[in-house]
């Protein structure tokens, strides 16, 4: 395959960026998208040019690092996969591929395709944990949890914090991410004691980071590589309104 790449190049957060066109020749359809970028970077280094900056780590769809906007879609044209799981057979010979970073005010560009998504870490740190000391790890079946509930909690926990929901949303909303983290713990017995403090703290941090609000267009669910459901946002809203209604002492 011979491809034309239009890649966003930006030296750092404070400089202006632009698209630069590169040729990617003799690309194997069996390459992953990141492997294709590796080959392009090797050619750039050999020619004395600066390689394209992009984030990656596990390359197994687990870590959420490979946040690329490809041909107008977060993680590319396929559903239910991260960029590292996207293969070049998803494109056709001679195609032009436009590659951008995830664009959101809360995701400033570090360099080229690499963005700073630490805002998501700060939201998680605001309350996405259980802080109560429960002693040693109990046996798995000590606390019975209905399978329907455990499945819901597990599905929410599959969020890899990549930020695709933010990049896909016209408002740059992080509500799908936040709601998945809230739901993950709110559904389980271990998360009950702090559930109202947790949701208020995480929503407050989300607002402080400058993310937009949800208008239920569904783009976040459509582009999420783990196909996190919009029902999590409804659950988070119920948790939040209930917390405000009861005004429990722990909230203050």
Q: In the prediction, which pLDDT does 73 show?
A: 97
At 252, the pLDDT band (50, 70, 90 cuts) reads very low
Give the full edge-to-edge strand order of the sheet including 3-9.
18-24, 3-9, 96-101, 68-70, 73-74
**For the residues 127-154, what does the mean pLDDT come to?**
83
The SS3 of residue 247 is coil
**For the residues 110-136, what does the mean pLDDT come to?**
91
Q: Are 124 and 232 part of one and the same domain? A: yes
CA gap 170, 45 in Å, rounded:
36
Q: Are 170 and 202 part of one and the same domain? A: yes
Q: In the prediction, which pLDDT does 251 show?
A: 45
Q: Are 163 and 58 part of one and the same domain? A: no
CA gap 100, 36 in Å, rounded:
15
pLDDT digits (tens, 9 = 90+) for 53-81: 999 999 999 999 999 999 999 999 999 99
Q: Are 231 and 142 part of one and the same domain? A: yes
Q: In the prediction, which pLDDT does 130 show?
A: 87
User: Domain range for residue 230?
Assistant: 118-251
pLDDT above 90 for 156: yes
Q: Are 170 and 189 part of one and the same domain? A: yes
Q: Are 102 and 173 part of one and the same domain? A: no
At 42, the pLDDT band (50, 70, 90 cuts) reads very high
Q: In the prediction, which pLDDT does 72 show?
A: 96
How many domains is the chain built from? 2
At 134, the pLDDT band (50, 70, 90 cuts) reads low
Q: For the domain that residue 203 is a member of, what is the CATH number?
A: 1.10.1060.10
Q: Are 96 and 204 part of one and the same domain? A: no
Q: Are 137 and 247 part of one and the same domain? A: yes
Q: Are 122 and 199 part of one and the same domain? A: yes
Q: Are 56 and 31 part of one and the same domain? A: yes
Looking at 84-143, which runs of residues are DSSP E strands? Answer: 96-101, 109-111, 114-115
**Treating both helix axes as pointing N-terminal to C-terminal, what angle do 175-186 and 231-246 enclose, rounded to 10 degrees?**
70
pLDDT above 90 for 166: yes
> Which residues face 87 on adjacent strands?
32
pLDDT above 90 for 131: no
Are 64 and 161 within 8 A, CB to CB? yes
Q: In the prediction, which pLDDT does 140 show?
A: 65
Q: Are 139 and 93 part of one and the same domain? A: no
Q: Are 55 and 136 part of one and the same domain? A: no
Of 185, 160, 17, 192, which Cα lies nearest the Cα of 80?
Answer: 160
Average pLDDT, the chain: 94
At 136, the pLDDT band (50, 70, 90 cuts) reads confident
pTM listed for this prediction: 0.92
Q: Which of 42-51, 98-107, 143-152 has the lowest mean pLDDT?
A: 143-152
Q: In the prediction, which pLDDT does 143 show?
A: 82
Q: For the domain that residue 37 is a member of, what is the CATH number?
A: 3.10.20.30
């Amino acid at each position: 395959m011979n491809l034309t790449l239009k890649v966003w190049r930006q030296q750092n957060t404070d400089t202006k960026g632009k698209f630069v066109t590169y040729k990617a020749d003799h690309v194997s359809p069996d390459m992953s998208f990141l492997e294709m970028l590796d080959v392009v970077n090797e050619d750039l280094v050999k020619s004395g040019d600066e390689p394209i900056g992009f984030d990656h780590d596990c390359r197994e769809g687990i870590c959420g690092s490979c946040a690329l906007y490809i041909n107008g879609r977060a993680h590319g044209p396929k559903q239910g996969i991260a960029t590292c799981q996207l293969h070049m057979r998803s494109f056709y010979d001679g195609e032009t591929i436009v590659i951008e970073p995830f664009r959101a005010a809360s995701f400033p560009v570090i360099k080229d395709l690499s963005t700073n998504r630490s805002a998501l870490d700060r939201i998680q740190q605001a309350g996405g944990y259980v802080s109560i000391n429960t002693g040693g790890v109990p046996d798995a079946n000590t606390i019975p949890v209905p399978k329907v509930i455990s499945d819901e909690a597990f599905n929410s926990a599959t969020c890899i914090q990549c930020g695709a929901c933010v990049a896909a949303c016209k408002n740059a909303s992080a509500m799908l991410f936040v709601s998945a983290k809230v739901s993950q713990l709110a559904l389980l017995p271990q998360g009950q004691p702090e559930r109202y403090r947790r949701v208020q703290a995480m929503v407050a941090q989300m607002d402080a980071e400058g993310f937009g609000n949800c208008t239920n267009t569904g783009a976040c669910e459509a582009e999420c590589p783990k196909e996190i459901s919009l029902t999590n946002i409804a659950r988070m809203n119920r948790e939040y309104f209930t917390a405000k209604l009861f005004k429990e002492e722990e909230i203050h």
